[in-house]
Amino acid sequence: MPNLLPKFRKPEFSAKKRRVKRALTIYDLRNAAKSCTPTPAFDYTDGAAEDEISLQRARDAYRNVEFQPNVLRDVSQLDTAVDLFGKASAFPLGIAPTGFTRMMNTEGEVAGSRAAAKFGIPFCLSTMGTTSIEDVMQAAPTGRNMFQLYMWKDREKSMALVDRAAKAGVDTLMLTVDVPVAGARLRDVRNGLTVPPTLTLKTMLNAAPRVGWWWNFLTKPKLEFASLGEWPGTVAELIDSMFDPTIDYQDLKWIREYWSGNLVVKGIQTVEDAKLAFDHGADAIMLSNHGGRQLDRAPVPLYQLQETVKAVGKDKPIHIDTGIMHGADVVTALAHGAKFAWVGRAYLYGLMAGGQLGAERSLEILTNQMSRTMRLLGVSNVAELEPKHVKFLQ
């Protein structure tokens, strides 16, 4: 007879482990992150541009679907692996480039790259990252580490970063093209966000109860951009000061000629630009409105997928980000033609909640949700996902 007597759960004395273990969804991790992270750092991750309509619409798009499951299919064996530029990724999911990362948690990009390596998926380091290219490669030497590039007005310094990435062993460059000027991220403006954070009475009072974050901030290496150093102004002022608003398709062609590795163009929002990006040398494009952080009321990437696939052809790899908070969202995107999906906030919520442990928990949640959704759809292989499996509700 089975033992039906109740079992007592062993107490967990680590607050971090308790937070992470209790989280069953990305939104649980978000709540945990909010409880232990000062408002300026949390809002930098959580917020978007202006009225935050772009972000909300992107998330609503993934809710506005209905799955069409097939039954009586053998789903005992599941294959979630995909080819990403000639190498296998265990899931069609990657950690997107995020700036200021060590402000969320001092483990920062090191935690993200190690978590990604553990799950067999790629990690992309941002130009605005707070860990150097070399340190990320050293932290996760067996991982698939990529580098994201913003073109600065100083082209020589921009390409020096590209050279460093190539020398360090990076095989994929992600060029972000939707930031000619800074979006109006009003939460950051109201919080007076700088790097390192400006300590006012208000920010100190807000941070005081978050003892873990405060202690790490004071005792770990100084927070600064790995590629830039400190910046006394706001994020928007930095972007407008350094980023090049003149970049055009001839520059993309020039970068293609300069960079010998794989090139992803991130920030595509129209069919016209999707075609032009491929015509000028992109190996893949990413449909993205920058997580709603640039142009408010921008197109919803998920709604652009099928039209873009039809226009450029199924052989052209289309990646997607923005609004992905559940493994079922990844399945939805793949069914409508995406080859790969990237998450930023979903991973950062885990990072804020528990460093590398939290980052791993976010990936565990997403990959488990994705695998379960595929099985319940009657799909045993990523390649089997088709538009028939997911329909948009009217």
Rounded Cα distance, 44 and 21, in Å:
25
Find all residues with CB under 8 Å of 109, minimum gap 6, and list them: 101, 102, 123, 125, 129, 130, 131, 135, 136, 139
Find all residues with CB under 8 Å of 170, minimum gap 6, and list them: 133, 137, 145, 146, 147, 261
Find out whether 365 and 373 touch, Cβ atoms under 8 Å.
no
Find out whether 29 and 361 touch, Cβ atoms under 8 Å.
yes
Q: Which of 280, 290, 319, 389 is catalytic?
A: 290
Phi and psi angles of residue 77, each rounded to the nearest 5 degrees, phi first: -115, 130
Active-site residue 290, yes or no? yes
Which of 330, 278, 270 lies closest to 300, judged by CA? Answer: 270
Structure tokens at 365: 């949640």
Rounded Cα distance, 237 and 242, in Å:
9
Give the residue numbers annotated as catalytic, written as ranges: 290
